[in-house]
Structure 1
Amino acid sequence: MPILLVSTDLMVASQLEGAARAAGETLVAAPPARAVASVAERGPRLAIIDLAAVEDCATLVAALRAVLPEDARIVAFGPHVHTARLDAARAAGCDQVLTRGQFLQRPGPVLSGPA
């Protein structure tokens, strides 16, 4: 099953595509408006949310949880200065919330983590 990246940042998508390939995974990127449809089409085991691209994390997480496989994880990342968005992602029930730097410096463990 692929990994879903919810982002509008092509640089992030490109960087994570390489990391996913190195981990033997497939990455599918979708903007927030297409995220739920992408899940329904592909059934990923991991959804990664770029908080810089999402206005309402709680609504997106709830919508993803409704269509993701039961054992799928949701990971969110965002700029360290956006503490309110990071806190909102935690409150929304993301399985893991990281700063952008934490995630992009070492995406491998997140991408290959437990299903």
Structure 2
Amino acid sequence: MTASAGPHGLMLCDDLIFFSRVSGAARAAGLTVRMVRTQTDLLAAVRAAAPGGVILDVHNPGLDLPGLLTELKAACEVMPRVTAYGSHVEADVLRAARQAGCDRVLPRSQFVKELEGQIGSWLGS
């Protein structure tokens, strides 16, 4: 990711089509967001350039959310804002994300509904 004057973020997901929707909303708000596909890639990207925010798909394969949040805290001087989304039918997974320490946890449908209006706060602007 190139350095930018404004806030930026990272998105952990493996859905390129959904990511393009999120990155388009970020671009429209004057922000940048980069997609990473694994927890390891996310942590490497955070260490390279601390983001203002991180967006997580709680259903990402291999995600250890409590472990990821612990490692994020250790890797950053200032903890980025963490917004998580997932399937509304898996309320236990969303509840676990809240308990793990995510700043905002939303069902995917609500995430989409709020995307354009909230992307700035999710990415720390």
* TM-score in terms of structure 1 length: 0.90
Where does residue 3 of structure 2 map in the other structure? none
* TM-score in terms of structure 2 length: 0.83
- In structure 2, distance between residues paired with 1:100 and 1:5: 14
1:71 CA displacement:
5.1
Deviant stretches of 4+, over 4 Å:
none
In structure 1, the gaps of 5 or more residues are none
Does 1:52 find its partner at 2:83? no
In structure 2, the gaps of 5 or more residues are 1-6
Does 1:27 find its partner at 2:33? yes
Give 1 or 2: higher helix fraction. Answer: 1
Write out aligned runs for 1:35-114 (5 A): 35-54=42-61, 55-70=63-78, 72-113=80-121
Among the aligned pairs, what percent are the same residue? 34
Q: Secondary structure at the match of 1:4?
A: strand
Q: Secondary structure at the match of 2:82?
A: strand
Maintained 8 Å contact 2:72/2:79: no
Larger of the two Rg values belongs to structure: 2
Alignment RMSD (CA, Å)? 1.6
